Structure 1
Amino acid sequence: MLYLLDADTLITGDRRAYPLRRFPVFWEWLRHQGTLGNVKIPLEQFEEVTSGRGDIVDWLCTEDCRAALILAEDLDPALVADTTLQGYGPLDENGVELVGRDPFLVAYGRVEPGERTVVSFEVSKPGKQGANRKVPDVCRDFGVPCCSLFDMIEALDFTTAWQQP
């Protein structure tokens, strides 16, 4: 299973769950999982995170992290367009801005059905419509598994005793 990280997973993970300066072992494990091909960050989500500032941005921009974590794939623009239209509906300019790069994330999940899981801290809100729809709900509509960072950690069996081989 390939886990695709949403930008909020990295930002919230650093700010609230596993701050880089307090839990460097987690981030080293995450980079190692990227090297193994278990965890990747689509370029669009990487750019969302790195447009900011802070420890997580500095860490992500290192050559080692970029090489290990960025998903090296070109995405079919027609798949992104279909994901946007079918997942969110017709959007005006404000809607496109509100949705941001989420359709890219879901579209990457659609590339290999059953082989990819989107990782996001967004919470399902099935009543939301249009640009207000949440990643887990759009993923569900396309049959793309979606989980939280904590679910991924459990599935990949992270422990603080982890040591890179």
Structure 2
Amino acid sequence: MLYLLDASVLITAKDNYYPLDAVPEYWDWLQHLGESGQVKIPLEIWEEIKEGPKDAEKDLLYEWIQRPHVKAALLLDEEVDPKLVQRVTEEGYATDLTEDEIEQLGRDPFLIAYGLAKPNDRVIVTSENSAPGKKRANRKVPDVCLALGVQSKGPFELNRELKFSTRWREAAAR
């Protein structure tokens, strides 16, 4: 199974649970999972993270994502199928989105399209919570995934399934 990370996973982890300077083991673990081919970040999502916040020079996630070995480990080496992006947009959100709504979607349709390319072998990991009542561009990633038959999970489910621990290196060495 390949887990594809949404930008929200890394941003939320950095801001709330695993600050890079306090829990470096988490970030090393993600890199290790990338090296082993279990976790990847699609280019469009990578670029979203790489754009960074307004004060990117002081942002540790921005610095981390710029490291060549991190990029080599985590960047998904694949191009998105434009027809799948269109399908995600039309079937997952709406066929008649305005320009403002398309901008609001950001890069989520790309992420979901990578999952749709191999729905039995890929899982989208996002920090977004399901909100089935949302419509059009306000729909959440888990709901669009469900509508299109793409698996999705939250970051804590990923951590449990892939057994994150601050002592993950010890377990990996066994």
| TM-score, with length taken from structure 2 | 0.92
Instruction: Give 2:111's aligned residue.
Output: 105
Instruction: Give 1:95's aligned residue.
Output: 101
Deviation at 1:76, TM superposition (A): 1.1
Which amino acid is the alignment partner of residue 81 of structure 1? Q
Which amino acid is the alignment partner of residue 121 of structure 2? E
Q: 1-side partners of 2:127 and 2:119: how far apart?
A: 21
Which amino acid is the alignment partner of residue 157 of structure 1? K
What is the CA deviation profile of residues 82-130 of structure 1, one whole-angstrom value per residue up to 9, with x for unaligned ones?
1111110021011011111000010000111211000001000001000
Which amino acid is the alignment partner of residue 131 of structure 2? K
Instruction: Give 1:121's aligned residue.
Output: 127
Runs of 4+ in structure 1 displaced over 6 angstroms? none
Instruction: Give 1:21's aligned residue.
Output: 21
Instruction: Give 1:58's aligned residue.
Output: 63
Instruction: Give 1:134's aligned residue.
Output: 140
Which amino acid is the alignment partner of residue 109 of structure 1? G
Give secondary structure in 2 for the equivalent of 1:3: strand
Q: 2-side partners of 1:25 and 1:104: how far apart?
A: 29
What is the CA deviation profile of residues 29-48 of structure 1, one whole-angstrom value per residue up to 9, with x for unaligned ones?
10000000000001111111
Deviation at 1:67, TM superposition (A): 0.3
Instruction: Give 2:160's aligned residue.
Output: 154
> Where does structure 1 lack aligned partners over 5 or more consecutive residues?
none
Which amino acid is the alignment partner of residue 151 of structure 2? P
Q: 1-side partners of 2:39 and 2:161: how far apart?
A: 12
Deviation at 1:152, TM superposition (A): 0.2
Equivalent residues, number: 165
Deviation at 1:15, TM superposition (A): 0.7
Instruction: Give 1:73's aligned residue.
Output: 78
- Between the aligned residues of both structures, percent identity stands at 47
What is the CA deviation profile of residues 33-90 of structure 1, one whole-angstrom value per residue up to 9, with x for unaligned ones?
0000000001111111111121011111100000000111011111111111111002
Q: 1-side partners of 2:17 and 2:45: how far apart?
A: 19
Q: 1-side partners of 2:151 and 2:86: how far apart?
A: 20
Give secondary structure in 1 for the equivalent of 2:124: strand
| TM-score, with length taken from structure 1 | 0.97
Which amino acid is the alignment partner of residue 131 of structure 1? A
